[in-house]
Chain A
């Protein structure tokens, strides 16, 4: 193992410990030291944050860890990004390396939010910028928030069959406003099926929080490769 690889492993261990302890300050301090030692923000993200968060995501998918641990990971990584990486990138005149921006919320008529929160956290720990609108969000509010935040993806959750029509309304509203190419629309939740998602013209469907991340990554990769309307 080279010295650089040894250093990265040491940073990863410190980050893991900071997450376990719920200690953003320890993570921030380690990131500052790493950048002071010459690591670029991108190399730090790819070599330290991404592997640790991938491991956390996989452990959550096996239910070896739970939402509180995901929350701690999100808290620590958010602090590192906001206090260390983003200022360093701005100072160098570069752009941040977010995977994309996701506006997320529970559809109109539904106030369930734990499942939606899990998806939001999983997206966050996987490098997406997430704007959580909360619950009972009407179609217009989804679209307005996506415009305001310059979002890539609108992610809608529904646990109740009678709130599902409002997801379709959001798709139709985006189409009616000529925004279908600008925003990718996805949905999930217990009664939402892949077939239904396809039938109403959604761009993606996630069975659970783990698949939601995979779908968002795939959609963003498609968008980068060919910025046209992607398929499911």
Chain B
């Protein structure tokens, strides 16, 4: 549970912990720790051809034990002070025992409660729909967000970033970032009002690359404490004064904290097994450092920037199963497909992760961050509707059933990934006057749903 006492404790440790070179941390400390834990806890996956969504509780428990040990042995690294932030095991266990198992975001009739889920849980996941930081042109920013807010199955919204502000180029840690933060608050709230859902909880401040936009836009007239505010744990397991400044502000304003950690496949944590351990360790460290309400991971592929390759899906599944079985932590998953709007590939990718998450005990889906969030304006509300529908249809299915569906889906989209099909711009897949998907985009959507129904998923 977050409070000033714990905040002061973190800030003290940031300034008194053991000093270490950042390169030593990146190149030696983290890789060696993860590799040693993988061996110590016998974390080894079967060949990918056999399973993508494993149903192995013992494996999940070993991954949890390894991740817990990682959080204890490694701690985090503060870039600003070149110090490690360490936590004793009893401190970690005490904090984990007090972590919230639900959180309500938004206000009034539009508020929504995200709750802890277990593996193969019949309860539906929360759907936090939106483009997750994908740059969007200023002139269509409101329309893009309305396309998400108007979707009934979207329980909360996650904002895109502005490509420009007042027609000017955005620069981090500059007055433009402050203006972008305010613009984001004004336009996304307006989108919610237009959609008739004024109190929808907003994932913010997406334009806060540094701390200045968070500090300015989370104030009177801007984002509310009942929105869900982002803080990053930088890869791998690193924080800095900018993140901690956001933290101090969010704790003193009583805001809901949504912290995220995005390990890189093939990076310092190694392959899929190391990534699963890092997901667990990272979520525990998010709780220890930031006292976060919700813990989000979106592992990144080093070449495609996505999290839908089968090896990453398996790491996510095992990591989330480990957390679902052994902790109270609320786990969110950002869906980052390679493909963009208008393509069946995008929907196959979204379905694979939604089904994986449903069976693995994930509490909320975020996104999708279509076209890996790298193509301006390549996002639309329809993929969030589709993801929510698949997530709901998959609630309660077994891991074995999920595995069969996910392997079928991966076989359909994997050959397309190298081509990186970015799909179409929002203005090409939505009618800007009615804010409805075009007939062509609807046809693709209905076609993929029919295929999934053919596979037995009641979507």
The reply on B220 being an interface residue by CB < 8 A is no
Q: Is the CB of A191 within 8 A of B374?
A: yes
Q: Which residues of A contact B236 (CB under 8 A)?
A: 114
Interfacial chain B residues near A208, Cβ < 8 Å: 302-303
Among candidates B268, B302, B305, residue contacting A209 with C-beta atoms closer than 8 Å = B302
- Min distance, Cβ B114 to any Cβ of chain A, angstroms: 27
Nearest to B34 among chain A residues (CB) is A68
Residues of B within 8 A of A114 (CB): 26, 235-236, 264, 267-268
Q: Which residue of A67, A109, A132, A161 contacts B268 across the interface (Cβ within 8 Å)?
A: A67
Q: Which residue of B173, B180, B311, B372 is within 8 Å of A109 (Cβ)?
A: B173
Q: Looking at the assembled complex, report how far the CB atom of A80 sits from the nearest CB atom of chain B, in whole angstroms.
A: 18
B372 & A118 in contact (Cβ 8 Å cutoff): no
Residues of B near A193 (CB, < 8 A) are: 374
Query: Which residue from B22, B210, B311 sits with its C-beta under 8 Å from A134?
Result: B22
Indicate which residue in B22, B27, B169 contacts A71 across the interface (CB closer than 8 Å): B27
Which residues of chain A come closer than 8 Å to B303, judged between CB atoms? Answer: 63, 207-208, 210
The 0/1 profile, CB within 8 Å of A marked 1, for residues 180-197 of chain B is 100000000000000000
State the Cβ distance, A6 to closest chain B Cβ, in Å.
34
**A161 B234 Cβ-Cβ under 8 A:** no
Residue in contact with B170 in the complex, picked from A68, A134, A161, A207, CB distance below 8 Å: A161
Contact B265 A63 (CB under 8 A): yes
- With a CB–CB cut-off of 8 A, which chain B residues contact A60? 266
- Residue in B169, B235, B271 whose CB lies within 8 Å of A66: B271
A163 close to B (CB within 8 Å): yes
- Which residues in A have their C-beta under 8 angstroms from that of B282? none
Which of chain A's residues has its CB closest to B173's CB?
A109
- Check A111 against B266 for contact (C-beta < 8 Å): no
Query: Contacts of B210 on A, CB cut-off 8 Å?
Result: 109
Contact B172 A162 (CB under 8 A): yes
**B291-311, CB under 8 A of A: which get 1 and which 0?**
000000000001101000001
Is A110 an interface residue, CB under 8 A from the partner? Answer: yes
Contacting pair A160 B209 (CB below 8 A): yes
| Chain B residue, CB-CB nearest to A75 | B27
Complex Cα spacing A67 to B274, Å: 12
**Smallest Cβ distance from A4 to chain B, in angstroms?**
36
Contact with A along B195-223 (1 / 0, CB 8 A): 00000000000010110000000000000
Instruction: Tell me how many residue pairs across A and B have CB atoms closer than 8 Å.
Output: 92
Whether B270 pairs with A68 at a CB distance below 8 angstroms is: yes
For the complex, give the distance between the alpha carbons of A115 and B35 in Å.
20
CA distance A67 to B263 in the complex (A): 12
A99 in the interface (beta carbon within 8 A): no
**Identity of the chain A residue whose Cβ is nearest the Cβ of B420 in the assembled complex:** A207
B173 touches A111 (CB 8 A): no
B79 proximal to A (CB < 8 A): yes
Query: Chain B: which residue is nearest A61 at the CB level?
Result: B303
Are A118 and B267 in contact, CB atoms less than 8 angstroms apart? Answer: yes
Tell whether, in the assembled complex, residue B302 and residue A162 are in contact, meaning their CB atoms are under 8 Å apart.
no
Give complex CA distance A135, B77 in Å: 15
Q: How far is the CA of A80 from the CA of B374 in the complex (A)?
A: 40
- Tell me, rounded to whole Å, the shortest Cβ–Cβ distance linking A182 to chain B: 27
Look across to chain A and name the residue whose beta carbon is closest to the beta carbon of B234.
Answer: A111
The verdict on A109 contacting B209 (CB below 8 Å), with A117-B26, A162-B171 known, is yes
Q: Which B residues are in CB contact (< 8 Å) with A16?
A: none
Instruction: Give the nearest-CB partner of A107 in chain B.
Output: B172
Contact bitstring A68-99, B, C-beta under 8 A = 1, else 0: 10010000000000000000000000000000
Q: Which residues of B contact A210 (CB under 8 A)?
A: 303
Is B337 an interface position by the 8 A CB rule?
A: no
Contact with B along A93-131 (1 / 0, CB 8 A): 000000000000000111111110110000000000000
Q: Is A166 an interface residue (CB 8 A)?
A: yes
| A190 CA to B23 CA, complexed, in Å | 22
Q: Tell me the bound Cα distance from A160 to B373 in angstroms.
A: 11
Is there a chain A Cβ closer than 8 Å to B163's Cβ? Answer: yes
Which residue of the partner chain B has the closest CB to A70? B266
**What residues of A have a CB within 8 angstroms of the CB of B274 in the complex?**
66
List of A residues within 8 angstroms of B270 by Cβ: 66-68
Query: Which listed residue, B31, B265, B374, touches A68 by the CB 8 Å rule?
Result: B31
| Residue from B176, B238, B311 whose CB has the most chain A CB atoms within 10 Å | B238
Q: Are B171 and A67 within 8 A (Cβ)?
A: no
A160–B22 CA distance with the chains assembled, in angstroms: 21
State the CA gap A136–B144 with chains docked (Å): 31
Q: Is A227 an interface residue (CB 8 A)?
A: no
Q: Fill in one digit per residue for A198-222: 1 if any B CB lies within 8 Å of its CB, else 0.
A: 0000000001111000000000000
- Please state if A165 and B169 are interface contacts (CB–CB under 8 Å): yes
A112 surroundings in chain B (CB, below 8 A): 234-235
Q: Give the docked Cα–Cα distance between A145 and B428 (Å).
A: 45
B161 at the interface (CB under 8 A from A): yes
A contact residues around B22 at 8 Å (CB)? 134
Please give me the residue from chain A that is nearest to B374 by CB atom. Answer: A190
Residues of A close to B163: CB separation below 8 A: 161
B177 interface residue per 8 A CB criterion: yes
Known interface pairs A114-B26, A165-B171; 18 further A-B residue pairs with C-beta atoms within 8 A, sorted by A's residue number: A63-B271, A66-B266, A68-B268, A68-B270, A109-B172, A112-B235, A115-B302, A117-B26, A134-B22, A161-B163, A161-B170, A162-B177, A162-B207, A163-B171, A190-B373, A191-B374, A208-B303, A210-B303
Q: 20 pairs across A/B with beta carbons < 8 Å? A: A63-B311, A66-B271, A67-B31, A71-B28, A108-B172, A110-B209, A112-B235, A113-B26, A114-B26, A118-B266, A161-B135, A161-B170, A162-B171, A162-B172, A162-B174, A162-B176, A163-B171, A166-B171, A208-B303, A210-B303
A interface residues, Cβ below 8 angstroms from B = 60, 63, 66-68, 71, 108-115, 117-118, 132, 134-135, 160-163, 165-166, 190-191, 193, 207-210
Chain B residues within 8 Å of A, Cβ to Cβ: 22-23, 26-28, 31, 35, 79, 135, 161, 163, 169-174, 176-177, 180, 207, 209-210, 234-236, 238, 240, 242, 264-268, 270-271, 274, 302-303, 305, 311, 372-374
